[in-house]
Structure 1
Amino acid sequence: MSGQDHDGPDAEDARTQLVAGRYRLLQLLGRGGMGVVHEAEDVQLGRRVAVKMLTAVEGLAAEDVAWERFQREVRALARIDHPGVVTLYDSGVHEGVPYLVMQVLDGLSLADLVVATGPLPVAAACTVALGITEALQAVHDRGVVHRDVKPSNVGVTGNGRVVLQDFGLARLAGETAITRTGALVGTPQFMAPEAMSGGPREAAADWYGLGACLYLMLTGELPFGPTADVGAIMLRALGEGIPRLTADDGIPLPLAHLVGELCRQDPLLRLTDAAVVRDTLVPLMYGGTQDLAGLVTGRLRAEAVDAVRSTEVSARPLPAPPGEEPEYVWAEAVSLSAAPDPMHPATLSDTTRRIVLGSMTPQGALSRQREAVGLVQRGQVREAAQMLAVVVQICLSKLGPDHPTTLTSQYWQAVCRARLDAGDEALEMLSRVNRRVGRRADRTDGSDD
């Protein structure tokens, strides 16, 4: 992998590529300033992993800032073994691009969860906050400062487990900070005031990040309002600070007080005692794990059903080159690559759709269909549904509605819908498939007479 996007004609090559001769890339999970993260298969051990390719580091000299961040991330993660911290399996360099191989987490980021649901129930918010607290205590005990605690770096799995991840900005305590002069490294909405002022970012900054995350979970709002103006955010952060929560906000007073203590502007006065944080959260989190698991699984199910439905939402002809007409009517199809914003799944544009049609052969569609069936059999129904959403459209265009590969793909689409609690839609699709199979059989019988 050389750092280029794999959303065009090379997408299929990216999914079959072996990183370091061992990790087969399956699908894009996300993008960030430092690179891309793929779900992959470790072909030696036969397990799913997340491969983070630091494409921003490609071609940089060893003394460059991005390279140093990568080295520090490896060392930081290797020193931590805790259920609330993402597990590092392997690291190395592939075709000049550094990579990390990590535990793959099935779930959502805290940021995506709040975008989807709004404010979390108090018990669920306390459960997430306790998970972050336990993780921070673990990393701080090992001399590690995360330096970028924010909702997008907190993962929540389908069983309610909370995992702190992305140590791309971490530095080991006692080492020299690697921030470029004048650079603002981190996310201003969740960045401690001392970091904005260019001061050292110690463990106290991580606790500020926890307080800001808790504010978001309880209110459903960003600490400094819905603005992307870094200057305005810094003025508020260094001025009045994060707004104080009160009982009038419908938040238990001990929890409102905790947010205020975690978000104190002076790091010397800020609450940094994990035991005190824990004592406040535990009495308020009864049933929180179940609430959290229900919110995450409900959202994942809704995303998967939406992805399958999207193949039939807005059927319209595909604009054709001059003098050509499309053979079939297309519906908007979900991309095989994950969208940057999982709350708004990407659809294939007309141009991209034409590229996909031109580059994928019927045999390639059959191969993707078999891969999707394998995902279903391994219980990865959401991923299979996303893949089949595109495969069905390719089969319809290339092979026609009555081809066995098309019908088989639609059958497995129906299976996915049924397993994602869309039973009525599954039955309707199975009925359509059965009718076409019946008509195809009738035509075959007639030709034999």
Structure 2
Amino acid sequence: MKDGTAESGDGGQVVAGRYRLLRPLGRGGMGVVHEAEDTRLGRRVAVKMLTAVEGLAEDDEARDRFLREARALARIDHPGVVTLYDVGVAEGTPYLVMQVLDGLSLAELVARTGPLPTAVVAQVALDVLRGLFAAHEAGVLHRDVKPSNIGLNRDGHVVLHDFGLARLAGERAITRTGQLVGTPQFMAPETIRGAAPGPPADLYGLGTSMYLMLTGELPFGDSTVDFGAIVDRALGDGVPRLSGRVPGLPRFLAELVDGLCAQDPAARPGRTAAMEESLEGLAADGREALAALLAEEFRREAVRGVLSEKVRFTAARLLGEPAQDPGDHPEYDWEEAPPQQTAEPADALRPPTLSDTTRRLVLSSMTPQSARSRQREAVNLVLRGELQEAAQVLSVVVPVCLSSLGPAHPTTLLSQYWHAVCLARLGAGDRAVDLLARVNRHADRRTGDRS
């Protein structure tokens, strides 16, 4: 098959005769990641198919370079570096087999909570630094250090993943047409200019990620700003200095971020015992605090799901989907809720409203699974009257659902229905009517198919 997989006897796709693909976990510019079963060892793994660079021949120099560095990465045994189990090329498509990370990315956490406590920032930075140094000592560059590639496990441990090995298999920092590959928000200036990345470029990515953690803002402003304008800022004045800007921020941390984000790679600090000792001192109980933050976010997600159960029942009934009425008393211990209670329980459990910047950061890496979660969030926003924010979320959720789940899938139809509600209440009646007509058309087909 084109993506390097073959059909197994039970209809599932199997990579390299061993890894049975179960479900997609994410999709990016370089390929798609699947949860899979290692049929030989009987364990759960993540398989990344680098479909952007398929078609590598046996004697391709890029193929050899990719396999060589991937094998070097596989030899790294460090808690801050994702465990790489296997690597290969299936029918011309490179693939990586890695551990499955259970938790959130740093991008997702900041999007949900805003700026992080100093101890948490210091702990994440320390773990990433040590992971990068372990990789660099093994001769491996990450090439794509950014918040979405920094995984946070439920126990508060930090893991670097999604090393940019795909670029070794044929991608350059600047394409033949001059189009930048990647996001300039976290990309070192020398890489943007087309120079080969080195260890300082990875450290720059950490510096910009720390900037996001400490401020809750992207280094060069809103990610919807013109792409060229962001590049100009990255190559011009660079990342705004933190020293003296964030009240209460320890001087060492501000100076470290400023140093890591220096325009000149030679000016960025290298590894020193003093740096690690200072971060350790600031981290204190940072790992425990990070684990607590993650636990609270998972609790909020569960509560949001319970609160929207009634909404899902009503919408499912509208579309003719079988659903059981959850009743007026969701199974949730309201004693755990904040003490202030209003006539509407959802208000007492309202999660922090995401800023436009951080919301777009989360939506930029949306998968079908996260689209469903964001849809539930949008419905809660509608019920609270925050129509502009709900419409913004749904304007991204709907295209993801259309492309990944199809136009007749219940999640797609529900997303379009609530998008139409937002548009109607915001005064865009014509667009709302058009969208509802599409929903009704597919809903009628589904009803006809069942009759």
Q: Which TM-score tier does this pair reach, normalised by the shorter chain?
A: 0.5 to 0.7
The alignment partner of 1:188 has SS state of coil
Alignment partners' CA distance in 2, 1:238 and 1:304: 43
1:45 alignment counterpart:
41
Structure 1 pair 51–63 and aligned structure 2 pair: CA distance change class (3 A) = same
2:295 alignment counterpart:
297
Alignment partners' CA distance in 1, 2:232 and 2:56: 34
User: What is the 5 A alignment of 1:90-239?
Assistant: 90-94=86-90, 96-169=92-165, 178-179=172-173, 180-181=175-176, 182-228=178-224, 229-239=226-236
Structure 1 pair 146–274 and aligned structure 2 pair: CA distance change class (3 A) = farther
Alignment partners' CA distance in 2, 1:156 and 1:329: 35
Alignment partners' CA distance in 2, 1:213 and 1:100: 25
Structure 1 pair 286–351 and aligned structure 2 pair: CA distance change class (3 A) = same
The alignment partner of 1:351 has SS state of coil
Structure 1 pair 185–327 and aligned structure 2 pair: CA distance change class (3 A) = closer
Q: Indicate which of 53, 58, 72 corresponds to 2:54.
A: 58
Structure 1 pair 269–241 and aligned structure 2 pair: CA distance change class (3 A) = same
Q: Following TM superposition, by how much is the alpha carbon of 1:215 offset from its aligned partner in structure 2, in angstroms?
A: 0.5
Alignment partners' CA distance in 1, 2:289 and 2:276: 19
The alignment partner of 1:27 has SS state of strand
Give the conservation status (yes or no) of the 8 Å contact 1:55–1:98: yes
Structure 1 pair 189–339 and aligned structure 2 pair: CA distance change class (3 A) = same
Give the conservation status (yes or no) of the 8 Å contact 1:122–1:284: yes
Q: Following TM superposition, by how much is the alpha carbon of 1:74 offset from its aligned partner in structure 2, in angstroms?
A: 2.0
The alignment partner of 1:249 has SS state of coil
Structure 1 pair 232–276 and aligned structure 2 pair: CA distance change class (3 A) = farther
1:83 alignment counterpart:
79
Q: TM-score by structure 2 length?
A: 0.66
Alignment partners' CA distance in 2, 1:120 and 1:271: 23
Query: Highest Rg: 1 or 2?
Result: 1
The alignment partner of 1:38 has SS state of strand
Alignment partners' CA distance in 2, 1:41 and 1:58: 23
Structure 1 pair 122–167 and aligned structure 2 pair: CA distance change class (3 A) = same
| 2:339 maps to 1:339 | no
Q: Indicate which of 387, 402, 409 corresponds to 1:352.
A: 409
Structure 1 pair 354–197 and aligned structure 2 pair: CA distance change class (3 A) = closer
Unaligned runs of 5+ in 2: 326-365, 377-396, 414-446
Structure 1 pair 277–46 and aligned structure 2 pair: CA distance change class (3 A) = same
User: What is the 5 A alignment of 1:382-393?
Assistant: none
Give the conservation status (yes or no) of the 8 Å contact 2:87–2:95: yes
Q: Following TM superposition, by how much is the alpha carbon of 1:297 offset from its aligned partner in structure 2, in angstroms?
A: 2.4
Q: Following TM superposition, by how much is the alpha carbon of 1:238 offset from its aligned partner in structure 2, in angstroms?
A: 1.7
The alignment partner of 2:185 has SS state of helix
Q: Following TM superposition, by how much is the alpha carbon of 1:353 offset from its aligned partner in structure 2, in angstroms?
A: 3.2
Alignment partners' CA distance in 2, 1:301 and 1:65: 49
Deviations 1:32-88, CA, capped at 9 Å, x for gaps: 111111112223222211111222233355688985785365234224221111111
Deviations 1:351-401, CA, capped at 9 Å, x for gaps: 113999xxxxxxxxxxxxxxxxxxxxxxxxxxxxxxxxxxxxxxxx9xx9x
Q: TM-score by structure 1 length?
A: 0.66
Structure 1 pair 67–233 and aligned structure 2 pair: CA distance change class (3 A) = farther
**Superposition CA RMSD, Å:** 3.8
Alignment partners' CA distance in 2, 1:187 and 1:274: 29
Alignment partners' CA distance in 1, 2:411 and 2:116: 42
Alignment partners' CA distance in 2, 1:350 and 1:277: 53
Give the conservation status (yes or no) of the 8 Å contact 2:188–2:204: yes
The alignment partner of 2:152 has SS state of strand
Alignment partners' CA distance in 1, 2:76 and 2:149: 16
The alignment partner of 1:338 has SS state of helix
Alignment partners' CA distance in 2, 1:63 and 1:312: 59
The alignment partner of 1:155 has SS state of strand
Number of residue pairs matched? 341
The alignment partner of 1:237 has SS state of helix
Structure 1 pair 219–94 and aligned structure 2 pair: CA distance change class (3 A) = same
Q: Following TM superposition, by how much is the alpha carbon of 1:232 offset from its aligned partner in structure 2, in angstroms?
A: 1.1
Q: Following TM superposition, by how much is the alpha carbon of 1:311 offset from its aligned partner in structure 2, in angstroms?
A: 4.8
2:16 alignment counterpart:
20
Q: Following TM superposition, by how much is the alpha carbon of 1:339 offset from its aligned partner in structure 2, in angstroms?
A: 3.1
Alignment partners' CA distance in 1, 2:406 and 2:57: 38
1:262 alignment counterpart:
260
Structure 1 pair 56–196 and aligned structure 2 pair: CA distance change class (3 A) = closer
User: What is the 5 A alignment of 1:1-16?
Assistant: 2-3=2-3, 16=12
Structure 1 pair 285–344 and aligned structure 2 pair: CA distance change class (3 A) = farther
The alignment partner of 1:89 has SS state of strand
The alignment partner of 2:48 has SS state of strand
Unaligned runs of 5+ in 1: 5-9, 321-325, 357-396, 401-449
Letter in 1 for 2:235: L
